[in-house]
């Protein structure tokens, strides 16, 4: 446990982010392939707790499946719009040993073209619908923009993709709304704030009719897309000939949706809540929720030290019995070094217990989010821990929500200046050329028409570019 310098998150977020991933042992970036990384045990525990929430939410109305990693070239190329969007991003398997393959195989960049030919054979009649499946898999994208751990990967290790097929367009629309509710619930549990927008046509998913996206605001004032939902309509159904026999005997195309989340959700948790001392993890997903640090002044086995150890063990057992993820740090390091270490790891609550606490039949709670300290009687520890963890979860969420402000542009604010701070809202008509012009003039991206943004009321007003009638869109510099 060596002590390292304090990192200023505000000064240089990018340096802070990379250093935290390393110090807190989330991801090892030394793997010698560009854009692919190694999960450390602590990082993977965090990832699994986060994905456990997602899985539970998905399992409610979806069934888990597992499709192959390899996709035949001819299948991948079938949907014209889809492949136009992905052709520059596909990794190809061309050989088996030294033999060239008859049909080159793609490593899935996403699984539409792996799943839908099989949907075709699964779906016969209206009784086979709806299909609602998901999988959590690795996908590969040959990203040419600057790669970043958890954020822009060439191997996405935790791609949660859901795919649905319905008898009617209305049902597909309803499914999109249900999925939005699921994703909102998910990010709320992570205490990650977001805005929801409908992406402009030029930025929709290749092959989709329209795309809805969740974006969060990162500490450097840029937004990161953390989830997307796509209305596919009958596009892929026509390409892959996915039809069902309706009750009246007619043959109809299915309507489809798909929606996905990657380990960017882990990046968001780390980036949004962390501070100059390291990670700050929401209790809901912290691999260790409580760390107990015994305050022992001598190691000679005198009576007070023994009593302190006993009391710490008792608290440990009680908390563990109550289902709390607790760790007792009885290593020989100094308490100060332990505080420093567990703060860096983002443990939400520290319990210190020394001889003086014992005389008061109490222990000391120190919160990771605001460093508030208080004495807690030993006989109320479990309920106090539960209450404090709930409160930390809540406070982290509230604090993060406050940081996600939207600057509504009016006469007094210059978009070019405001965009440096974060997300702006301004009226735009639905003319693509106006959107593109705006993007160029301020060096930012149109996120899209506002579907949800806490504390922002969308306005109708003259388009910021052409003065025709327009409606508020959100605009930001993006990851």
Burial class (CB in 10 A: 0-12, 13-18, 19+), 136: middle
Contact between 106 and ligand P5A by CB under 6 A: the answer reads: no
Q: Site mask, ligand P5A, residues 150-169, x = CB under 6 A?
A: --xx--x----x--------
CB atoms within 10 A of CB 367: 18
Contacts of 41 (CB under 8 A, 6+ apart): 25
Partner interacting with residue 466 (select from Zn ion, ligand P5A, none; CB below 5-8 Å by kind): Zn ion
Interaction between residue 58 and Zn ion (CB under 5 A)? no
CB neighbour list of residue 245: distance below 8 Å, 6 or more residues apart:
124, 125, 126, 251
The correct pick among 197, 216, 223, 228 for binding ligand P5A (CB under 6 A) is 228
| Residue 434 contact partner, candidates Zn ion, ligand P5A, none, CB within 5 to 8 A by sort of partner | Zn ion
**Residue 431 binds: one of ligand P5A, Zn ion, none (C-beta under 5 to 8 A by kind):** Zn ion
Contact yes or no for 454/193 (Cβ under 8 A): yes
Q: Which is nearer to Zn ion, 304 or 415 (by Cβ)?
A: 415
CB of 352 to ligand P5A, least distance (A): 39
384: part of which helix (H) or strand (E)? Answer: helix 381-403
Site string for ligand P5A, 424-443 (x = CB under 6 A): --------------------
CA distances from 198 to 180, 203, 321, 432 (A): 12, 10, 46, 14
Within 275-340, strands assigned E span 290-294, 326-328
Binding mask 179-208 for ligand P5A (x = CB under 6 A): --------------------------x---
Please tell me the count of residues contacting Zn ion according to CB under 5 A.
6
Report which of 434, 387, 391, 133 is spatially closest to residue 258, judged by C-alpha positions.
133
Stretch that binds ligand P5A, among 4-12, 179-187, 221-229, 278-286 (CB under 6 A): 221-229
Among 26, 27, 162, 463, binds Zn ion (CB under 5 A): 463
Out of 151, 195, 279, 465, name the contact with Zn ion by CB under 5 A: 465
Which residues, 428 to 457, sit near Zn ion by CB under 5 A?
429, 431, 434
Kind plus residue range of the DSSP H or E element containing 469: strand 469-476
Burial of 424 (0-12, 13-18, 19+ CB in 10 A): buried
Contacts with ligand P5A, 238-277, as mask; x by CB under 6 A: --------------------xxx-x-x-------------
Residues 138-157 that bind Zn ion (CB under 5 A): none
> Which part of the chain contacts Zn ion (CB under 5 A), choosing from 130-138, 190-198, 200-208, 423-431?
423-431
Angle, helices 264-273/169-189, rounded to nearest 10 degrees = 40
Using the rule CB under 5 A, give the single segment among 235-243, 342-350, 363-371, 462-470 that binds Zn ion: 462-470
Give CA–CA dist 348/290, Å, rounded: 6
Burial class (CB in 10 A: 0-12, 13-18, 19+), 371: exposed
> Which residues would be at the binding site for ligand P5A (CB under 6 A)?
110, 141, 143, 152-153, 156, 161, 205, 225-228, 230, 258-260, 262, 264
């Amino acid at each position: 446990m060596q002590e390292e310098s304090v990192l200023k998150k505000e000064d240089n977020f990018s340096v802070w982010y990379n250093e935290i991933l390393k110090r807190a042992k989330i991801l090892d970036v030394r793997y010698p392939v560009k854009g692919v990384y190694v999960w450390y045990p602590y990082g993977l525990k965090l990832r699994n707790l986060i994905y456990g929430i997602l899985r539970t939410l998905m399992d409610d109305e979806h069934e888990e499946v597992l499709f192959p990693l390899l996709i035949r070239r001819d299948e991948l190329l079938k949907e014209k719009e889809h492949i136009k969007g992905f052709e520059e991003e596909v990794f190809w398997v061309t050989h088996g040993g030294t033999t060239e393959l008859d049909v080159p195989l793609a490593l899935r960049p996403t699984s539409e073209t792996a799943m839908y030919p099989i949907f075709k054979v699964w779906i016969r009649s209206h009784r086979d619908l709806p299909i609602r499946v998901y999988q959590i898999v690795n996908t590969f994208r040959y990203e040419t923009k600057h790669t970043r751990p958890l954020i822009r990967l060439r191997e996405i290790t935790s791609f949660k993709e859901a795919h649905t097929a319905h008898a009617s367009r209305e049902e597909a629309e309803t499914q999109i709304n249900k999925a939005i509710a699921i994703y909102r619930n998910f990010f709320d549990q992570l205490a990650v704030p977001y805005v929801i927008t409908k992406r402009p046509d030029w930025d929709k998913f290749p092959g989709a009719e329209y795309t809805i996206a969740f974006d969060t605001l990162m500490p450097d004032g840029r937004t990161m897309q953390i989830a997307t939902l796509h209305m596919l309509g009958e596009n892929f159904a026509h390409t892959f000939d996915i039809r069902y026999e309706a009750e009246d005997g007619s043959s109809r195309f299915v309507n489809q949706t798909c929606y996905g989340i990657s380990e960017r959700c882990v990046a968001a948790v780390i980036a949004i809540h962390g501070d100059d001392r390291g990670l700050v993890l929401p209790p809901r997903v912290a691999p260790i929720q409580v760390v107990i640090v015994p305050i022992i002044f001598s190691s000679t086995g005198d009576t007070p030290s023994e009593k302190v150890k006993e009391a710490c063990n008792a608290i440990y057992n009680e908390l563990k019995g109550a289902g709390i993820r607790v760790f007792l740090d009885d290593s020989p390091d100094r308490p100060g070094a332990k505080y420093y270490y567990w703060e860096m790891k983002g443990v939400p609550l520290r319990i210190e217990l020394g001889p003086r606490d014992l005389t008061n039949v109490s222990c000391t709670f120190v919160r990771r989010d605001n460093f508030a300290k208080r004495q807690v009687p030993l006989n109320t520890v479990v309920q106090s821990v539960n209450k404090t963890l709930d409160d930390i979860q809540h406070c982290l969420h509230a604090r993060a929500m406050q940081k996600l402000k939207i600057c509504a542009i009016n006469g007094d604010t210059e978009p070019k200046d405001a965009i440096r701070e974060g997300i702006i809202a301004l009226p735009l008509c639905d003319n693509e050329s106006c959107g593109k012009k705006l993007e160029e003039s301020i060096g930012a991206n149109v996120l899209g028409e506002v579907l949800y943004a806490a504390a922002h009321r969308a306005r109708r007003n003259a388009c910021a570019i052409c003065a025709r009638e327009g409606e508020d869109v959100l605009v930001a510099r993006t990851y």
